[in-house]
Structure 1
């Protein structure tokens, strides 16, 4: 059984795009296998990820450790990326 994709959200307090991304991912996780990691921008890990990826806005969203987006979460783009990852994983199984 393949491991579910990991979506990491580096978020800041009082960020409406961050709250929106968290809710959208929670909804999506009810439909597809997905591991969601929420990281506060003020933690050592959060600061390191921001320094590495230099997002223009919050939240910074990573898919399996790679930059995916910053700012408002592009839901359709994420759904396509997850579908492609699932198809690739299924072919490799």
Structure 2
């Protein structure tokens, strides 16, 4: 059976969009199977992810290591993606 998608959120300190994304991910995690990871921008992993994806603003959001967005989290886009993955997981 496939594993739930992993959403990684790279956050910077004092970032209101980061807090908004965290809240949105908590709401989505209540509806869909998903693993949410938060990474601090000033950590070694955070710096490496920013160097790789070069987001113009925070937070950086990845799904299974693939760029999803930077800045305001696209809730509808992510919900549609998670719904599709959940359906695929249910189908086996």
Question: Structure 2 length normalisation: TM-score?
Answer: 0.92
Partner residue of 1:3? 3
Partner residue of 1:38? 38
Count of residues paired in the alignment: 92
Structure 2, unpaired ranges of 5+: none
Deviation at 1:86, TM superposition (A): 2.7
Cα deviations across residues 57-92 of structure 1 (Å, max 9, x unaligned)? Answer: 10000001100000000100001111222334445x
Partners of 1:44 and 1:25 in 2: CA distance: 23
Superposed counterparts of 1:1-93, under 5 Å: 1-91=1-91, 93=92
**Secondary structure in 2 matching 1:30:** helix
Pairwise CA RMSD: 1.2
Partners of 1:31 and 1:85 in 2: CA distance: 12
Deviation at 1:21, TM superposition (A): 0.3
